[in-house]
Structure 1
Amino acid sequence: MRRLGNRVNLSTVLGLAVARLGRAEVRPGPRGLLLADGYRLPFPVAGAFTVGDVLVTAGRWDAHRPALLEHEERHSWQWFWCAGLPFLPAYGVCLVWSVLRTGDRAAANVFERRAGLALGGYREVPVRPLVPAARAALSRRRPRPRT
């Protein structure tokens, strides 16, 4: 079901395009996943990432912990449940929320939490009060007056 859905919603097609753009080598993986090894672009900054049913890494999937594959497979289900491309802005909003709440891109990101923080190599980070965190974030963005 996931595999068909991610092909129909074009997220796997996008994943194959991203892998090709990054000059990764794609091969069949378990449970209908596609494993892309040797990704060469600097973005996104991650040990691995998933687009549709394509799991991408700069290294080789054989060298990663099996738990990371499970974590990334859960992201492929998230692509399915978000009907493809809506996953990207939804993930972006959750990433910003996580940084605001914890200073970490994953700790309060619902997508990373549901994929298993520990499986993905992420750690728990305590939530910080919202108002001081927002003030801190805004003060970093404002240009400082020159003296």
Structure 2
Amino acid sequence: MNLASVAGVLIAVSGRTKLVRGGTLNPAATGVLIAGNYGRRWPAQTTFTVGGVIIARRPAAWLLGEGRESLLRHELIHSTQYALLGPLFWPLYWLAALFSYLTTGSASARNIFERWAGLAAGGYADLPLSPRLDGLLRRLRR
């Protein structure tokens, strides 16, 4: 467990969640904790990952249930990203979110971490470049 995972547990506890070992409910989730019934307003996503902790607004069994395999896989990829980068994940993720926002108006569409985890699996749309940026790039190519 790295420092990001400790932060994930603290966030989960502050959101009054019930923590369970993912592998006890689904072998694919071995090695992560699932925090169900997250009660805070932010972030707005149905699920999000901090370190080795996947936090869900619904019960853990919901995330690990039938039909949500791609969402679970998306969150497991984020957990792997945290494992590789540790606390460096946060500034790199927010830089990627800023880049995405500036180029598309969405913090996710061009965020490399969300793209690697699978945009659609995480509930995000793949958006084109903003018209202003697209026009600038076209002018630069001339």
**Contiguous gaps of at least 5 residues in structure 2:** 23-28, 137-142
**What does 1:31-110 correspond to in 2, within 5 Å?**
31-64=30-63, 65-82=68-85, 84-110=86-112
Amino acid corresponding to residue 25 of structure 1 in structure 2:
K
Separation of aligned partners in 2, 1:71 and 1:51? 13
Q: Percent identity?
A: 38
Q: How many residues align?
A: 125
Amino acid corresponding to residue 68 of structure 1 in structure 2:
L
1:139 match: none
1:27 maps to 2:20: yes
With structure 1 as the length reference, what TM-score do the two structures score? Answer: 0.79
Q: Secondary structure at the match of 1:101?
A: helix
Q: Which has the higher helix share?
A: 2
* 1:14 corresponds to which of 3, 7, 12: 7
Separation of aligned partners in 1, 2:38 and 2:47? 9
CA displacement at 1:132 relative to structure 2: 7.2
Separation of aligned partners in 2, 1:108 and 1:123? 10
**Contiguous gaps of at least 5 residues in structure 1:** 1-6, 134-147
Structure 1 window deviating more from structure 2 (100-109 vs 122-131): it is: 122-131
Show CA shifts across 1:93-137 (max 9, x none): 11111111111111100000001111111111111243879xxxx
With structure 2 as the length reference, what TM-score do the two structures score? Answer: 0.81
Separation of aligned partners in 1, 2:5 and 2:135? 40
The answer as to whether partners of 2:70 and 2:121 remain within 8 angstroms in 1 is yes
